[in-house]
Amino acid sequence: MTCSRLRDKTALITGATSNIGRAIAIEFAAEGAHVVASGRSPQRGAELIEEIKANGGRAEFVPMDLDGSVQACSALAAEATRLLGGGIGILVNNAGIYPRTHTATTDEATFDQVYAVNVKTPYYLTAAVAPAMVEAGGGVIINLGSWIARLGIPSALYSSTKGAMETLTRAWAAEFGPRGVRVNAISPGVVHERLPREAGPHPGDAMMTGTPAGTPGTPDAIAHAAVYLASDEAAFVHGTVIDVDGGRTGVAVIAA
Protein backbone atom coordinates (compact mmCIF):
# COMPACT_ATOMS: atom_id res chain seq x y z
CA MET A 1 0.00 0.00 0.00
CA THR A 2 1.48 3.35 -1.04
CA CYS A 3 1.22 6.74 0.63
CA SER A 4 1.07 10.02 -1.25
CA ARG A 5 3.81 12.43 -0.22
CA LEU A 6 5.71 11.72 -3.45
CA ARG A 7 2.77 10.74 -5.64
CA ASP A 8 3.40 11.35 -9.37
CA LYS A 9 7.05 12.23 -8.73
CA THR A 10 9.98 10.51 -10.40
CA ALA A 11 13.31 9.77 -8.78
CA LEU A 12 16.80 8.52 -9.60
CA ILE A 13 18.76 7.14 -6.63
CA THR A 14 22.40 6.13 -6.92
CA GLY A 15 24.02 3.52 -4.70
CA ALA A 16 20.57 2.06 -4.17
CA THR A 17 21.34 -1.62 -3.65
CA SER A 18 22.41 -1.47 0.00
CA ASN A 19 22.08 0.37 3.30
CA ILE A 20 20.96 4.02 3.02
CA GLY A 21 20.35 4.06 -0.73
CA ARG A 22 18.22 0.94 -0.56
CA ALA A 23 16.12 2.35 2.28
CA ILE A 24 15.57 5.59 0.36
CA ALA A 25 14.46 3.71 -2.76
CA ILE A 26 11.98 1.62 -0.75
CA GLU A 27 10.61 4.63 1.12
CA PHE A 28 10.28 6.79 -2.01
CA ALA A 29 8.35 4.03 -3.77
CA ALA A 30 6.13 3.53 -0.71
CA GLU A 31 5.33 7.25 -0.82
CA GLY A 32 4.19 7.01 -4.44
CA ALA A 33 7.27 7.90 -6.48
CA HIS A 34 8.32 6.06 -9.62
CA VAL A 35 11.91 5.10 -8.78
CA VAL A 36 14.94 4.28 -10.85
CA ALA A 37 17.52 2.63 -8.62
CA SER A 38 21.13 2.42 -9.74
CA GLY A 39 23.93 0.26 -8.38
CA ARG A 40 26.72 -2.12 -9.30
CA SER A 41 25.07 -5.42 -8.33
CA PRO A 42 22.40 -6.74 -10.72
CA GLN A 43 21.42 -9.41 -8.20
CA ARG A 44 20.81 -6.97 -5.35
CA GLY A 45 19.14 -4.61 -7.79
CA ALA A 46 16.71 -7.29 -8.89
CA GLU A 47 15.92 -8.15 -5.26
CA LEU A 48 15.23 -4.49 -4.49
CA ILE A 49 12.89 -4.04 -7.45
CA GLU A 50 11.07 -7.26 -6.59
CA GLU A 51 10.50 -6.05 -3.02
CA ILE A 52 9.24 -2.64 -4.15
CA LYS A 53 6.86 -4.10 -6.70
CA ALA A 54 5.58 -6.71 -4.23
CA ASN A 55 4.52 -3.81 -2.02
CA GLY A 56 2.70 -2.03 -4.82
CA GLY A 57 5.44 0.40 -5.84
CA ARG A 58 6.93 1.31 -9.21
CA ALA A 59 10.64 0.82 -9.75
CA GLU A 60 13.29 -0.02 -12.33
CA PHE A 61 16.94 -0.94 -11.91
CA VAL A 62 19.87 0.33 -13.97
CA PRO A 63 23.19 -1.43 -13.34
CA MET A 64 25.96 1.14 -13.57
CA ASP A 65 29.52 1.43 -12.33
CA LEU A 66 29.68 5.13 -11.58
CA ASP A 67 33.38 5.80 -11.99
CA GLY A 68 33.20 9.58 -12.11
CA SER A 69 33.29 9.79 -15.88
CA VAL A 70 31.03 12.10 -17.84
CA GLN A 71 30.13 9.14 -20.05
CA ALA A 72 28.81 6.97 -17.17
CA CYS A 73 26.86 9.84 -15.63
CA SER A 74 25.34 10.89 -18.94
CA ALA A 75 24.41 7.30 -19.77
CA LEU A 76 22.68 6.81 -16.41
CA ALA A 77 20.78 10.08 -16.72
CA ALA A 78 19.63 9.21 -20.22
CA GLU A 79 18.49 5.69 -19.31
CA ALA A 80 16.71 6.87 -16.16
CA THR A 81 14.95 9.57 -18.15
CA ARG A 82 13.79 6.96 -20.67
CA LEU A 83 12.54 4.56 -18.01
CA LEU A 84 10.73 7.29 -16.12
CA GLY A 85 8.90 8.41 -19.23
CA GLY A 86 10.53 11.73 -19.83
CA GLY A 87 12.05 13.31 -16.77
CA ILE A 88 13.90 12.94 -13.47
CA GLY A 89 12.12 14.99 -10.84
CA ILE A 90 14.30 13.99 -7.88
CA LEU A 91 17.99 13.07 -7.91
CA VAL A 92 19.54 11.46 -4.83
CA ASN A 93 23.35 11.49 -4.98
CA ASN A 94 24.01 8.65 -2.57
CA ALA A 95 26.65 6.42 -4.20
CA GLY A 96 29.99 6.45 -2.41
CA ILE A 97 32.93 4.37 -1.27
CA TYR A 98 34.73 4.44 2.07
CA PRO A 99 38.19 2.86 2.04
CA ARG A 100 39.88 2.79 5.42
CA THR A 101 42.98 4.73 4.52
CA HIS A 102 45.60 6.83 6.28
CA THR A 103 47.09 9.95 4.74
CA ALA A 104 50.71 8.80 4.61
CA THR A 105 49.88 5.46 2.99
CA THR A 106 47.16 6.49 0.52
CA ASP A 107 48.34 5.85 -3.02
CA GLU A 108 47.33 8.09 -5.89
CA ALA A 109 45.08 5.48 -7.51
CA THR A 110 43.01 5.14 -4.33
CA PHE A 111 42.80 8.91 -3.91
CA ASP A 112 41.60 9.36 -7.48
CA GLN A 113 39.06 6.52 -7.20
CA VAL A 114 37.48 7.89 -4.01
CA TYR A 115 37.15 11.37 -5.47
CA ALA A 116 35.85 9.96 -8.74
CA VAL A 117 33.02 8.05 -7.06
CA ASN A 118 32.25 10.40 -4.17
CA VAL A 119 32.65 13.82 -5.83
CA LYS A 120 33.00 13.61 -9.62
CA THR A 121 30.02 11.27 -10.01
CA PRO A 122 27.50 13.49 -8.20
CA TYR A 123 29.02 16.54 -9.87
CA TYR A 124 28.63 15.26 -13.41
CA LEU A 125 25.33 13.53 -12.71
CA THR A 126 23.95 16.80 -11.40
CA ALA A 127 25.36 18.51 -14.49
CA ALA A 128 23.47 16.00 -16.64
CA VAL A 129 20.18 16.19 -14.73
CA ALA A 130 19.75 19.73 -13.37
CA PRO A 131 19.36 21.55 -16.71
CA ALA A 132 16.49 19.22 -17.67
CA MET A 133 14.88 19.89 -14.29
CA VAL A 134 15.12 23.62 -14.95
CA GLU A 135 13.57 23.17 -18.38
CA ALA A 136 10.76 21.07 -16.89
CA GLY A 137 9.95 23.79 -14.35
CA GLY A 138 11.70 22.45 -11.25
CA GLY A 139 13.12 19.52 -9.36
CA VAL A 140 14.90 18.35 -6.25
CA ILE A 141 18.50 17.26 -5.66
CA ILE A 142 19.48 15.57 -2.41
CA ASN A 143 23.14 14.94 -1.60
CA LEU A 144 24.50 12.62 1.07
CA GLY A 145 27.09 14.18 3.33
CA SER A 146 28.42 12.79 6.61
CA TRP A 147 28.94 13.86 10.20
CA ILE A 148 32.68 13.31 9.78
CA ALA A 149 32.83 16.29 7.43
CA ARG A 150 32.53 18.50 10.52
CA LEU A 151 33.67 16.37 13.45
CA GLY A 152 37.11 15.15 12.54
CA ILE A 153 38.20 11.54 12.73
CA PRO A 154 41.40 10.08 11.23
CA SER A 155 39.86 9.36 7.83
CA ALA A 156 41.00 12.37 5.85
CA LEU A 157 40.31 11.15 2.34
CA TYR A 158 36.67 10.14 2.81
CA SER A 159 35.97 13.07 5.14
CA SER A 160 37.21 15.55 2.57
CA THR A 161 34.88 14.16 -0.10
CA LYS A 162 31.89 14.58 2.20
CA GLY A 163 33.00 18.11 3.00
CA ALA A 164 33.01 18.72 -0.73
CA MET A 165 29.45 17.42 -1.03
CA GLU A 166 28.20 19.78 1.66
CA THR A 167 29.91 22.71 -0.08
CA LEU A 168 28.47 21.67 -3.45
CA THR A 169 25.03 21.55 -1.87
CA ARG A 170 25.19 25.23 -0.97
CA ALA A 171 26.79 26.22 -4.29
CA TRP A 172 24.20 24.31 -6.32
CA ALA A 173 21.39 25.81 -4.25
CA ALA A 174 22.69 29.23 -5.28
CA GLU A 175 23.12 28.16 -8.90
CA PHE A 176 19.92 26.20 -9.50
CA GLY A 177 17.54 27.38 -6.76
CA PRO A 178 16.51 30.59 -8.52
CA ARG A 179 15.57 28.42 -11.52
CA GLY A 180 13.30 26.11 -9.57
CA VAL A 181 15.60 23.30 -8.44
CA ARG A 182 15.89 22.80 -4.69
CA VAL A 183 19.23 21.40 -3.52
CA ASN A 184 19.78 20.11 0.02
CA ALA A 185 21.80 17.47 1.81
CA ILE A 186 21.51 14.95 4.61
CA SER A 187 24.39 14.34 6.98
CA PRO A 188 23.94 10.86 8.45
CA GLY A 189 25.54 9.79 11.69
CA VAL A 190 26.66 6.24 12.36
CA VAL A 191 24.08 4.20 10.46
CA HIS A 192 23.92 0.43 10.12
CA GLU A 193 21.46 -2.24 9.18
CA ARG A 194 19.77 -3.77 12.20
CA LEU A 195 21.65 -6.74 13.68
CA PRO A 196 19.90 -9.80 15.10
CA ARG A 197 19.56 -9.56 18.86
CA GLU A 198 21.84 -12.57 19.35
CA ALA A 199 24.63 -10.84 17.42
CA GLY A 200 25.36 -8.61 20.43
CA PRO A 201 26.56 -4.99 20.38
CA HIS A 202 27.06 -3.32 17.02
CA PRO A 203 30.62 -2.28 16.06
CA GLY A 204 29.37 1.29 15.67
CA ASP A 205 27.98 1.53 19.20
CA ALA A 206 31.16 3.08 20.62
CA MET A 207 31.01 5.96 18.12
CA MET A 208 27.63 7.01 19.54
CA THR A 209 28.65 7.01 23.20
CA GLY A 210 27.92 10.40 24.74
CA THR A 211 25.17 11.30 22.27
CA PRO A 212 21.45 11.72 22.97
CA ALA A 213 20.62 8.65 20.87
CA GLY A 214 23.33 6.52 22.43
CA THR A 215 23.29 3.95 19.63
CA PRO A 216 23.75 3.90 15.83
CA GLY A 217 20.79 4.75 13.68
CA THR A 218 19.22 2.67 10.93
CA PRO A 219 18.91 3.46 7.21
CA ASP A 220 15.19 4.14 7.66
CA ALA A 221 15.99 7.29 9.64
CA ILE A 222 17.88 8.74 6.68
CA ALA A 223 15.16 7.65 4.26
CA HIS A 224 12.50 9.53 6.24
CA ALA A 225 14.57 12.72 6.04
CA ALA A 226 15.03 12.20 2.30
CA VAL A 227 11.27 11.87 1.80
CA TYR A 228 10.76 15.17 3.60
CA LEU A 229 13.36 16.99 1.48
CA ALA A 230 11.94 15.49 -1.72
CA SER A 231 8.36 16.39 -0.87
CA ASP A 232 6.47 19.64 -1.31
CA GLU A 233 6.59 20.02 2.48
CA ALA A 234 10.20 21.22 2.04
CA ALA A 235 9.35 23.77 -0.66
CA PHE A 236 11.00 26.59 1.33
CA VAL A 237 14.16 24.61 2.17
CA HIS A 238 17.25 25.46 0.10
CA GLY A 239 20.96 24.83 0.62
CA THR A 240 20.46 23.12 3.97
CA VAL A 241 22.35 20.18 5.45
CA ILE A 242 20.08 18.22 7.77
CA ASP A 243 21.92 16.35 10.51
CA VAL A 244 20.36 12.94 11.09
CA ASP A 245 23.03 11.69 13.43
CA GLY A 246 21.51 11.05 16.84
CA GLY A 247 22.99 14.33 18.05
CA ARG A 248 26.58 13.29 17.26
CA THR A 249 27.79 16.63 15.92
CA GLY A 250 25.69 19.04 17.92
CA VAL A 251 25.22 17.67 21.43
CA ALA A 252 27.40 16.39 24.24
CA VAL A 253 25.65 14.40 26.94
CA ILE A 254 27.37 14.89 30.28
CA ALA A 255 26.83 12.06 32.71
CA ALA A 256 25.40 13.19 36.04
Q: Closest by alpha carbon to 64, among 21, 27, 32, 102?
A: 21
**Cβ pair 65, 72 in contact under 8 A:** yes
DSSP result, 111-170:
HHHHHIIIIIHHHHHHHHHHHHHHHHT-EEEEEE--GGGTS--S-HHHHHHHHHHHHHHH
Alpha-carbon distance of 27 to 32, in angstroms, equals 9
**β 58-63/90-93 pair status:** unpaired
Catalytic (active site) residue 158 = yes
Whether the CB-CB separation of 124 and 77 falls below 8 Å is answered with: no
Phi/psi of residue 33, nearest 5 degrees: -80, 150
Rounded distance, CA 17 to CA 40, Å? Answer: 8
Q: Active-site residue among 98, 123, 124, 158? A: 158
Residues serving a catalytic function are: 158
